[in-house]
Structure 1
Amino acid sequence: MIVYGCKISYYTGKLETYLRYRSIDYQVLPTVGNEQTLIAETGVVQMPVVQDNRGRWMTDTTPIIAQLESEQSAASIYPLCPLMNIIALLIEDYADEWLWRPAMHFRWSYRVSRQYAAEVLYDELIRDNPNRYIPRFIALRILKARQYFGFVQGDGVNKQSRGHADSTYSKSLELLEAIFKQRPFILGNTPTIADVGLMGPMFRHFSQDPVPAEIMRETAPNVFEWVARMWNSKAGDKTPDLLTEPDAMLISLLREISETHLAQLQQNAKAWSDGKNRFELNIQGSTYSNAPSSRYRVWCLEELQRAWASLNAANQAQLKAVLTAAEAAIIWNQENFKLSNYDSERKAPFNRAICVFGDGIPPR
């Protein structure tokens, strides 16, 4: 399997964690220099894009992992309990779409972290590419400016919201630390899609970038240990013994997810429906000014709503009982938002993909 990505890429790290867990051999190649092929085969240049050993092209880690998992005969990383499965999917979505914002902030707002990341990107994607070569000092300036203005300031993180971007990471560590003091993985003794999803932000960003890594080591050593445990986990090591209903620690995490991620999905869907490229994103009393709207995140909300609709009445009642924050109602109170019309034929990960933001960077 060929994985087009990068060794500090958020979603490449998530996918690699899964591939290692399933002992699937893969090779990582850079996206830079392969753009024409990626666009021709998938419609996008993003990390990661995959060509498997049968020649199939796939994009977007969420459907990629779901597809690969459907081809496995061993115990699934998707919980058999319907209630815990939708909770695991919600945690994955939170990791993919909410923690992305503080992860990019910590990487590109802090000098030591952005210097580290820019140098890794240069060495991996530019230095040895004769068609893309730029002198190192110039390339580092360009990379740091592009990433900061695109993915930090361009994603609504400014003087007013920076404090919340800092604290939402700290809060995630606090909530996960409580869980990992009690058990090795989010839902029990073996990894689920919740753990794999959280490896996106927690591995290649928060545990590797200098500033958030120091915070993790000092304040959440059990989370730091979990990152290594996930990277070293292999399927079949243990028979799954997972929660069948959320405990108090998990319910606390779900409240945070509701107040941040589900609030974001609701406000984004409204902005998308209103035809806005940017909107004021209000999260837990903080405002991310000029946050970009995203068609892809409308689809993420639709996917959560589909998962809700697939539950029986008893499981729906159970989920409502644990998702008590007002923001969670967006999952079952399907407001009249404009549809994303993305992947309407249900072909993902084999469909023509779209980026989270237009051509990949939040619109100016």
Structure 2
Amino acid sequence: MVTTQAQPLALLGAAGSPYTRKMLALLRYRRIPYAIHWGSHRTPPAGFPEPKVKLLPTFYFPKDDGYEAVTDSTPIIRRLEGDHAGRSVLPGDPVTRFLGDLIEDYADEWLTKAMFHFRWAHPADIENAGPMLVFWNSPVIPDEIAGRASAEISKRQIDRLYVVGSNATTAATIEQSYERAIDALDTVIAQQGYVLGTRPSAADFAIYGQLTQLAIIEPTSAAITQKHSRRVRAWLDRVEDLSGLEPETAAWTHRDQLKSMLRPLLSEIGRVYVPFLLANARATMAGLPQFETEIDGRPWAQPTFPYQAKCLGWLRESYGELSHDDRTALDDVLAGTGCERLFGEV
């Protein structure tokens, strides 16, 4: 049900959080008034409840007796679609919408591996990231305190790199996948401006969120981005604020044209993210704490991630809800990309 917003929508976020940046750009595009509280759950804004899971961003949706603290950008986007009319980021065509869902999921769950990897795997990036995370939280922290905090944050994050699958075994796979992703995105943007047409979708904002860090903040991946595509780097500065763009319904590219336009990007998803999802799902079903598989011809090892098993489940559920004709059309788009394996046996 569409509601009238009496006050700006409050949220807690951080400039170094790709999901915060994803949602801020989306709110600007959709012209939804908001009030961002910069910080973390260590110093949450007064007067708001704690979320069940302390992630950024946290949205504070008003209700009769106060606020509801909500995290997870993907369902928040769908909730906002119901609360606010116009300037939708979800295509009406079921096939196009599914493709957008898949690409959004890839950005949120695979590109973020590259984000964490590049932030903490190389000395120049570590030297940059530690202080940035401190001063993003508060620019008035004294240098001596900031130095100690930076060292503590860096150690904690480096020690946790294994959680997202970043290690000596997987480094080459992650880095080469990022290079190909930039090349694929360059191809799509050159043809139509955004992933699904001449207007932005949730998938665009998901990609944008990760690239605000990868292509701008982290020195190593930013240099890779500049080398591979200045078009993509420039695109990010535009997507940051699309409040002036006037979208038209016809601006979504027809499903029949997306097969060729999205082929490079879907092939990259099928090459790296799909085998990860399937291996992770098998490990989750077997109750294994970690798993090993092969991605892009190289060994891959990391702890099992139950949430990403849910992501595969949600994609399969959406696929199952399509009509016979829409599934047939989607199968044709995905055929030969590797993404068709999503719907076979785990």
Q: TM-score, normalised by structure 1?
A: 0.84
Q: Is the 8 A contact 1:38 1:45 kept in 2?
A: no
**Aligned equivalent of 1:345:** none
Match of 1:177 among 167, 170, 186: 186
Partner of 1:271: 283
**Is it true that 1:242 corresponds to 2:252 in the alignment?**
yes
> Alignment partner for residue 300 of structure 1, among 306, 311, 314?
311
CA shift, 1:134, in A, is: 8.3
1:69 to 76, 81, 88: 81
- Distance apart, 1:138 and its partner CA: 2.5
Letter aligned with residue 179 of structure 2: S
User: Are 1:283 and 2:295 matched, yes or no?
Assistant: yes
1:140-155 matched pairs, under 5 angstroms: 140-151=150-161, 153-155=162-164
CA contact (8 A) 1:2 1:26 kept: yes
> What's the secondary structure of 2:59's corresponding residue?
strand
Aligned residue number for residue 326 of structure 2: 315
Deviates more, 1:279-288 or 1:323-332: 323-332
Amino acid paired to 2:101: L
CA contact (8 A) 2:30 2:86 kept: no
- 5 Å-filtered alignment, 1:111-260, equals 111-125=123-137, 135-151=145-161, 153-234=162-243, 237-240=246-249, 241-245=251-255, 246-260=258-272
Does the aligned pair in 1 maintain the 2:312–2:342 contact within 8 Å?
yes
Query: Against the structure 1 CA distance between its residues 276 and 217, is the aligned structure 2 distance closer, same or farther, given a 3 Å change threshold?
Result: same
Q: Deviations over 1:240-281 (max 9, x none)?
A: 412112142302211211221121111111001111111114
2:282 partner letter: K
Gaps in structure 2 of 5+ consecutive residues? 1-8
| Amino acid of the structure 2 residue aligned with 1:226 | W
User: Which stretch shifts more, 133-142 or 201-210?
Assistant: 133-142
| CA offsets 1:216-255 (integer angstroms, 9 cap, x no match) | 1222111112111111212752314121121423022112
Deviation of 1:31 after TM superposition, in Å, equals 1.7
Question: Residues 134-158 of structure 1, C-alpha deviation per residue, up to 9 Å, x if partnerless?
Answer: 833322222112112202x443322
Over residues 58-92 of structure 1, what are the superposed CA-to-partner deviations in whole Å (9 max), with x where a residue is unaligned? 11000011101222221421111111110000000
Give the whole-Å Cα distance in 1 for the aligned partners of 2:158 and 2:10.
29
Q: Report the Cα distance in structure 2 between the residues aligned to 1:226 and 1:281, rounded to whole angstroms.
A: 35
Q: Secondary structure at the match of 1:3?
A: strand
CA shift for structure 1 position 179: 1.2
Matched-pair contact (CA < 8 Å) for 2:10–2:36 = yes
The partner residue of 1:23 within 17, 26, 31 is 31
- Residues 1:37 and 1:330: Cα distance change in structure 2 (over 3 Å): farther
Letter paired with 2:178 = Y
Structure 1 stretches lacking a partner, 5+ long: 336-364
Task: Classify 1:235/1:330 alpha carbon distance in 2 versus 1 (closer, same or farther; 3 Å).
Answer: farther
For 1:214 and 1:176, how far apart are their aligned partners in 2?
16
Query: Do 1:7 and 1:204's aligned partners in 2 also have CA atoms closer than 8 Å?
Result: no
Structure number with the bigger relative contact order (C-alpha 8 A, sep ≥ 6) is: 1
1:317-332 map, 5 Å: 317-325=328-336, 327-332=338-343
Larger fraction in helix = 2
Taking the aligned partners of 1:199 and 1:318, their CA distance within structure 2 comes to 28
Kept in 2: contact 1:99–1:201 (CA 8 A): yes
**Cα RMSD after superposing both structures:** 2.5
| Deviation of 1:172 (Å) | 0.2
| 3-state SS in 1 of match to 2:135 | helix
8 A Cα contact 2:19 2:73, kept in partner = yes
Look up the match of 1:362.
Answer: none
Percent identity between the two aligned chains: 26
3-state SS of paired residue (2:151): helix
Distance 1:161 1:15 in 2: 29
Contact 1:38 1:49 in 2 (8 A): no
Instruction: Report the TM-score when normalising by structure 2.
Output: 0.88
SS at match of 1:43: coil
What is the aligned residue count?
331
